[in-house]
Amino acid sequence: MYETILLNQSQISSLMTMKEVIESVETAYKVHAERKVQMPAKKYLFYKKFKGDLRIMPCFIRGMDESGVKNVNVHPDNPEKFGLPTVMAMIELVDPQTGFPISVMDGTWITNMRTGAAAGVATKYLARDSSEIVGIVGAGVQASTGLEAINEVMDIKEVRISCRTCKTRENFAKKASEKYGIDVKSVDTIKEAVKGVDVLLTTTPAREPVVKSKWIDDGTHINAIGADAPGKQELDSHILQKATIIIDCWEQARHSGEINIPVHEGLVRRSDIHGKIGDVIIGTVPGRTSDEEITVFDLTGLAVQDIVTAWNVYKKAFKQGIGQKVNFLE
């Protein structure tokens, strides 16, 4: 009998650690660079009346025979107006041999974790080995998972966190200090969170640059997460013009990543892109080449990250007998 396994968020989070999600994301970037992935750029539905959008993200990985699709929303007003997360998602895993839906699972936790894990992977390959200080702009869920992932790959001595709301950043600093046993400071300005750090994580929905070029020291590695739709931009374009730019996918980055506005304005061209993070992982493109180099990872989020991670969740759930079984064809 063909059955679909349904998995909720608490079940999924009990099956995977951040370390395992980082490994899944690194595998995803690797197979993407090896051209083993069929993955159209994400498609958007814009709900302008409600200030939100829905993204559809399909993927098939040849060789691994893993396939699926994620639907994910971004509605920034959700927490305040409805008590819902800004980002929510569902993932359907499909058996490529039959097309049967072998699992339907919450994708919210996976989205948050794999986004953070991507910053961890990039930091592993692009930050200076001597890096100790992390700056974070924005104090939401992706700031939290980003710090969790960076902490897996870097010996952090100090973190500086900035966001618009004093209480939010102070709560973030308190919880992170207790969780990781490191010095996490709440700072009043973005400049204080940026100046003098080794690794910077930006996680805001900004539509105008909030990080200035003059604040970025030589040798800084930047994980730019916040720009995930057309018109969004967190970094001063001058940063990109003097940095080594690594992307996850050109089609998505030029359309909706950190580089989307500079590309539209002609300030950044495809020839200015150093390569994909997957190319760095498999060694076809060098990563950091000097301690003085500024590196920027433009992270848009790829369906292959979700699907590799979700299949690893499914395999564990199947083996351990976790989840509700449903026959949708009855």
Tell whether 163 and 263 lie within a shared domain. yes
* Of 216, 327, 309, 278, residue with least CA distance to 13: 309
For residue 187, being part of any structural domain is answered with yes
Q: What 3-state class would DSSP assign to 280? A: helix
**What's the CA gap between 316 and 155, in Å, rounded?**
30
Q: What is the pLDDT along the chain (330 residues), one digit of tens a residue?
A: 689 999 999 999 999 999 999 999 999 999 999 999 999 988 999 999 999 999 999 999 999 999 999 999 999 899 999 999 999 999 999 999 999 999 999 999 999 999 999 999 999 999 999 999 999 999 999 999 999 999 999 999 999 999 988 899 999 999 999 999 999 999 999 999 999 999 999 999 888 899 999 999 999 999 999 887 788 899 999 999 999 999 999 988 998 888 999 899 989 889 999 999 999 999 999 999 999 999 999 999 999 999 999 999 999 999 999 999 999 998
Strands 295-298 and 221-224, sheet pairing: parallel
Between CA 14 and CA 3 the distance in angstroms is 22
Q: For residues 153 and 184, give the distance between their C-alpha atoms in angstroms, rounded to a whole number.
A: 17
**What predicted TM-score, i.e. pTM, was given to this entire model?**
0.94
> Are residues 170 and 230 both part of a single domain?
yes
Say if residue 267 is in the same domain as residue 157.
yes
Phi-psi region of 174 (alpha: psi -120 to 50; beta: other; left: phi over 0): alpha
CB 147 within 8 A of CB 213: no
CA dihedral 16, 186, 239, 129 (to 10 degrees): -60
Between strands 52-61 and 37-38, the pairing is antiparallel
> Residues 12, 78, 138, 280: what is their CA dihedral angle, to the nearest 10 degrees?
50
Are 150 and 25 in the same domain?
A: no
Domain span at residue 73 reads: 4-110+304-326
Other Cβ atoms within 10 Å of 189 Cβ, number: 10
> Does residue 158 fall inside a structural domain?
yes
Q: Is residue 122 part of a domain?
A: no
Is 288 among the domain residues? yes
- Looking at the annotation, which residues are catalytic? 70
Say whether both 200 and 63 belong to one domain.
Answer: no
Whole-angstrom Cα distance, residue 268 to residue 241? 7
Contact 279, 33 (CB under 8 A): yes
pLDDT of residue 205: 84
Q: Quick one: pLDDT at residue 206?
A: 84
Total structural domains within the chain: 2
CATH number of the domain where residue 226 is located: 3.40.50.720
Residues 214 and 172 in one domain: yes
Res 103: pLDDT: 98
| One domain for residues 281 and 215 | yes
Residues 286, 142, single domain; the answer is yes
Is 121 within the bounds of a domain?
Answer: no
Residue 53 belongs to a domain: yes
CATH label of the domain that carries residue 47: 3.30.1780.10
Looking at the structure, do residues 93 and 161 belong to the same domain, yes or no?
Answer: no
Is residue 119 situated within a structural domain? no
Residue 268 and residue 134 share a domain: yes
89 within domain boundaries: yes
Residues 172 and 293 in one domain: yes
Closest CA to 141 of 226, 82, 26, 73: 226
Which residue in 284, 252, 256, 250 sits closest to 269, CA to CA? 250
Query: Same domain for 83 and 141?
Result: no
